[in-house]
């Protein structure tokens, strides 16, 4: 649908198992209609660049391709950035 085309993309760099990632997704649950969640499993061979970069920092979040936060969700920071992107559209 075209609505999702305008939604910001939140990329979650993750690996299995990742209790912190599960926790982060729960925290983001109330916002899920406002963004598209894209998960990148850093253990997959094609994601080795991300593995080298983030293997000790999972979960890591990028919003529309830009680094946003790591280790846990900073809900205030997330809301601020999400709001800015929504206002631009």
Q: What is the mean pLDDT of each run of 10 residues along the chain (89 residues)?
A: 76 96 97 96 98 97 97 96 92
pLDDT at 58 (0 to 100): 97
59, 24 contact by CB (below 8 A): yes
CB atoms within 10 A of CB 9: 14
pLDDT in tens, 26-49: 999 999 999 999 999 999 999 999
pLDDT at 6 (0 to 100): 85
pLDDT at 4 (0 to 100): 62
**Which domains are present in the chain?**
9-88 (3.40.30.10)
Tell me how far the alpha carbon of residue 36 is from its chain's centroid: 9
């Amino acid at each position: 649908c075209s609505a999702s085309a305008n939604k910001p993309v939140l990329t979650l760099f993750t690996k299995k198992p990742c209790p912190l990632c599960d926790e982060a997704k729960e925290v983001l649950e109330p916002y899920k209609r406002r963004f598209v969640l894209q998960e990148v499993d850093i253990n997959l061979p094609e994601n080795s660049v991300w593995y080298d970069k983030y293997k000790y920092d999972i979960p890591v979040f990028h919003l529309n391709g830009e680094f946003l936060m790591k280790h846990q969700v900073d809900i205030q920071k997330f809301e601020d950035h999400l709001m800015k992107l929504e206002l631009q559209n």
